[in-house]
Chains A and B, each alone.
Chain A
Amino acid sequence: MSKFNRRDFIRWSAGMALASGSLSFPGLLLAATRKVVVVGGGVGGCTAAKYLRKLDPNIDVTLIETKKAYTSCFMSNEVLSGDRTIESITFDYEGLKRHGVRVVIDSVTAIDPVAKSVATESGDTFGYDACVVSPGVDFKWDAIEGYDEAVAEEIPHAWFAGPQTVTLKNQIRAMPEGGRVIIVAPPNPYKCPPGPYERAAQIAMYCKHHKPRAKIIILDPKDAFSKQGLFRQGWSKHYGFGTENSMIEWVGAASGGKVESIDPSTRTLEAEVEDFEADVINIIPPQKAGKVAYASDLVEGDWCPVDKLTFESTRHKNVYVLGDASSASKMPKSAYAANSQAKVAAAAIVAKFNDLHVGEPTFVNTCYSILSHDHGISVAAVYSLDRANNMINPIKGAGGLSPMDASDDQRKREVSYAHSWFKNVINDMME
């Protein structure tokens, strides 16, 4: 009896509350340890793993990730400007281990939602009571003719931070003065909506000092993009956007910005109206849910439908799909969104394991873009769930963009807060 500690007491009380509500006596009282397998070591997966342990240390959490280290996509544009190294955005999983998460480096081949197990390339299977899947995005490789995974080694997408980010950075540095960089932006939806435009600014930031006559052209299949006004204002201020000598040009859909194909040998892009040649090309292809989602029958259309109260797949019970792969409208596909969703899913899983009421979810997204050393902009939103329509709606009257008339000082502070955002997201997901 001496080992009947406070935690036990709480469980007992909780159980009693339920018993008095004429529910059957909860399994938790006699249950063995619950197991959760987390597939994917990105923001969604890591955050879910950490918060599952945080909310209920009795849960056995295993995270399976292909790569040994995590390189964050966010802030990876700063690698292109040279403001940070790829190493500075690469992190190991030791922090998660300290939280009691078992980290397995392996590739998941598929999830068997019936057998409730996860199979890996190396032949292991992991049984689970709940499986969290956060596979991120995959590209629709057939969308741009002539562009495939092999070509991407030379003409990088750099949309998963890592070697291609470095490749792109090196290509820009190797480019002759007065050279031309083309960024091919993807159609909606895709992860990190302001990413291509911040990327243009970060490349311009490098070029401004080292190749002042360089041109950066964004070919965009869209007519509008995230934080557009703020980007245009920032580009104007720092890179002459809107003038004859603008370093950055944006070609939207109406101007023929949609790219049909590429000739990798000549580095020529065939767009709707004209062809574009460039010294450096960065193609960010259209996106869909990650491979594992497809292998596990979690996808409808391009993305994984979920019950947004818990992020449990509507296709398979006990499987929770988070982050970029999930269909979480109206949240964007962003790190902060994944982080926020992971906590909702973790709480839902803990509630379910303990036969408790699932609390109302709440979500936040904040997203910074750094246009120059002293120019940051942001967008923020706080969301609540409309259960009836399974829709995550931004709370009216709140959220929104950095004001257009912000002072230089405010813009500068946003850079600093962007870096804080970066450090704290990393910290919150895996430290």
Chain B
Amino acid sequence: MKYIAPRSPVWIFFLLFTFCFFTPVQSAESELTILGETPPPGFDPVTGERIIPNERCLTCHGDAHEKTDTRDDGTIVDIYADPEKMEDSVHGEQACTNCHATIDRVPHREAPDVVVGCVECHRETWDKHRNDPEGKYERLGVVMETIDSYYDSVHARPNRHDQSETNATCYDCHEAHDIGTLGSLQRAEHRLKNPEVCGECHRKELNEYKESVHGKAVLEEKDSESAVCSDCHTTHTIDDPDSDKAKLSITKNCGDCHKEAQRTYFDSYHGQVHRLGYTNTAKCHDCHGGHSVKGEDDPTSEIHTNNRLENCRVCHENANENFLTFWPHGDADDRENYPGLWFFKIFMQMLIFSVMAFFWVHVFMWLYREVMDRIQGKGFIEDLNKPDVVYFRRFPAVWRWIHGLFAISTMTLILTGTTLLFAHTGWAKAVVVFLGGTEMEGIIHRTAAVIWLGIFLAHLTIAISNIWSKRDSFKWFGSTSMLPNWKDWDDLKGMFKWFLGRGPRPQFTHWTYWQKFDYWAPFWGAAIIGSSGIMLFAPEATAIILPGWMFNIATLVHAEEALLAAIFLNSVHFFNVHFRPERFPMSTTIFTGTIPIEEFKHDHRLEYERLVESGELDNHLVSRPSRRADLAASFITTVLIMAGLALLTLVLIGLMTSPV
């Protein structure tokens, strides 16, 4: 024996010990044997499967001189995989058979099935390396998300003609042999190739795209900044283009490049509806053409002057020439291009600002004064030991009905109108869904508008007939007239003095100046909102007489004026009537039609005195409303106040979250 030494007893025991504990597992698991034979070189020692080196595959598949092969049935098949590109790709270190897992023999003994599963490998690799400290596999995280998106996309769904296949799978778009790392030339090339890749299946769309500004830039000028398919359709969340989801996503994606156009579009009626998640108004591609999008000057462009009207008529069947002067992207902030629009916006905003500024100052000062008075034990304080049993009749039933309906229709208009104005908010989307969509909302809005206008006109009729019937005795500037007079001016000044503690609270006649303002404001509103609303009510009819840009202006003023009304009514009017400490929490007079006599005396002393003097007072005195009537009035008032406050809140949220 040559090697006696290693076999000395000491070693025997040492090795006995070692092997007893460590080797059995190893010998049982590590090596596969068949009838005592281990796999030969070139075969996996554990699985016994053939290891096919990439070079072997490339003998045929990497031969640039013979890129195709002929199948047994005579069909030509592309078999080339560029070895250099492969090496540079993210999969450069992969063995061909890692993906082409069904290939177990080379040369293939039978025509091989191209069965490649990308997902499992990526998932496994990610699971294994997600915590890799060097972040080498970070990008795989994105791939994971991508895979999930893909599975939700239309491409992952079974093909209509062959359910054993999906519409498209990973390698239909990604040439796995040529996937570059981030920032690589291969990726840039892949981007430029995107239209061709998609066009493999979507031929018609590719042909249109080729003629488009995008297509020309990408395909002819190799401008990788211009839009390729995936920029609009996304890469992996692709949906059926007829689905709302896809349409919404496409519009959103247009804005990735065309930011201004998107902003102005979202400001338009079309854009607002779209923004609410509804696609039944014009979207980018409806006017500009989808795949065939071209510049305005191109006579074949859908937005060329010659073609535009036809475009409008897709939706607005009876659109006339005037539609052409509509500014679909009209921008009220753009003084240079849209001076008219700009002017109206500035005007309306100044109006809103000044009215609100004035009245909020008025509100806060009044509040201050009443609080101060209350602290000093002054002002109108209800005598709890002597509840009023005598009431003054202030409104006949007709006015009470008119006010109730007017309030409800106004609120309905605010709600349905501001959802469009604040389409960016979550609440708007929720409301529109609740109402049953934008079309239903439009119906509700128009219905409410008709009611609103109807009430307005009814009121006018009644008022005029009242005046007519008393035409002999009616004093235009008398105490019961709604017409403003100099006393109102003095009262206003007196109120401010009182607010500042520099004078007594003025004494009022039948109507105070703020009541007159509340009364006359809707006249202005009805004129502005009503006229613009009528224009927008039926655009095709409007366009018969008005130019298209009137829609822009009408939309703008309609919204701004409505905004003013919404804020004014739900803040200033509420304060003046309900929230000032003397009235808090509410006044139900407009629904009961009566006011406690003490309260009447306090707010309308001059009228009270006049009536006492003329002995007419008794004609106006009524008994306290029934408990039932009182409760009903309180209930209705509460509901309306709550609704109004809610609307105010929503409007303020919308205003504050408005995109600049």
Contact = CB atoms under 8 A, between A and B. Distances in A.
A and B in contact, CB less than 8 Å: yes
A355 to B, nearest CB: 15
A146 B24 CA distance: 69
A12 B15 contact: yes
A30 B19 CA distance: 18
Nearest to B19: A16
A219 B657 CA distance: 121
Interface in A1-38: 1, 3-5, 8, 12-13, 16-17, 19-20, 25, 29-33
B372 interface: no
A1 B7 contact: no
B164 interface: no
A19 B16 contact: yes
Given A1-B6, A30-B7, 7 more contacts: A4-B3, A13-B27, A16-B19, A16-B20, A20-B20, A29-B12, A359-B36
Interface string A51-76: 00000000000000000000000000
Kindly list the 8 A-B residue pairs having the minimum CB-CB distance in the complex, ordered from nearest: A16-B19, A4-B6, A3-B3, A12-B15, A29-B7, A8-B6, A8-B3, A30-B7
30 contacts: A1-B6, A3-B2, A3-B3, A3-B5, A3-B6, A4-B3, A4-B6, A5-B3, A8-B3, A8-B6, A8-B7, A12-B15, A12-B19, A13-B23, A16-B15, A16-B16, A16-B19, A16-B20, A17-B27, A19-B16, A20-B20, A20-B24, A25-B12, A29-B7, A29-B12, A30-B7, A31-B1, A32-B1, A33-B1, A359-B36
Contacts of B24: 20
The size bracket of the interface on B is 10 to 19
Interface string B505-538: 0000000000000000000000000000000000
The size bracket of the interface on A is 10 to 19
Nearest to A25: B12
A19 B18 CA distance: 13
Contacts of B7: 8, 29-30
Contacts of A17: 27
Contacts of A16: 15-16, 19-20, 23
A25 B20 CA distance: 13
A175 to B, nearest CB: 55
Name the residue among A12, A25, A33 with the largest chain B CB count within 10 angstroms: A12
B412 to A, nearest CB: 90
A8 B3 CA distance: 9
Interface of A: 1, 3-5, 8, 12-13, 16-17, 19-20, 25, 29-33, 359
Nearest to A33: B1
A29 B1 CA distance: 10
A25 B16 CA distance: 10
A275 B21 CA distance: 81
Contacts of A33: 1
Contacts of B19: 12-13, 16
A285 B355 CA distance: 141
Contacts of A3: 2-3, 5-6
Contacts of A12: 15, 19
Contacts of A25: 12
Contacts of B23: 13, 16
Nearest to A30: B7
Contacts of B12: 25, 29
Contacts of B2: 3
Nearest to A4: B6
A17 B2 CA distance: 23
A4 B8 CA distance: 12
Contacts of A8: 3, 6-7
Interface string B6-45: 1100001001100110011001000000001000000000
Interface string B143-184: 000000000000000000000000000000000000000000
A8 B8 CA distance: 13
Nearest to A12: B15
A1 B14 CA distance: 13
A109 to B, nearest CB: 32
B226 to A, nearest CB: 66
Nearest to B26: A13
A343 to B, nearest CB: 15
Nearest to B4: A30
A359 to B, nearest CB: 8
B223 to A, nearest CB: 65
B37 to A, nearest CB: 12
A133 to B, nearest CB: 28
A427 to B, nearest CB: 23
B33 to A, nearest CB: 13
Contacts of B16: 16, 19
B103 to A, nearest CB: 33
Nearest to B2: A3
Contacts of A19: 16, 20
Contacts of A359: 36
A408 B19 CA distance: 62
Nearest to B9: A30
Contacts of A30: 7
Contacts of B20: 16, 19-20
A20 B12 CA distance: 14
B6 to A, nearest CB: 4
A12 B7 CA distance: 9
Contacts of B1: 31-33
B35 to A, nearest CB: 9
A294 B331 CA distance: 122
B464 to A, nearest CB: 116
B5 to A, nearest CB: 7
Contacts of B15: 12, 16
A31 B1 CA distance: 8
Interface string B255-287: 000000000000000000000000000000000
Contacts of A20: 20, 24
B19 to A, nearest CB: 4
B475 to A, nearest CB: 124
A1 B10 CA distance: 12
A17 B1 CA distance: 22
A160 B273 CA distance: 110
Nearest to A28: B7
A87 B71 CA distance: 57
A3 B15 CA distance: 16
A206 B19 CA distance: 68
Nearest to A7: B3
B38 to A, nearest CB: 13
A383 B179 CA distance: 57
A282 B3 CA distance: 57
B637 to A, nearest CB: 95
A93 B20 CA distance: 45
A5 B1 CA distance: 13
Interface string B104-126: 00000000000000000000000
Nearest to B36: A359
Contacts of B5: 3
Contacts of B6: 1, 3-4, 8
A184 to B, nearest CB: 46
A13 B18 CA distance: 11
Contacts of A13: 19, 23, 27
A31 B23 CA distance: 24
A352 B7 CA distance: 20
A277 B19 CA distance: 77
Contacts of A31: 1
Contacts of A29: 7, 12
Name the residue among B1, B5, B6, B36 with the largest chain A CB count within 10 angstroms: B6
Name the residue among B5, B7, B24 with the largest chain A CB count within 10 angstroms: B7
Nearest to A359: B36
A13 B1 CA distance: 18
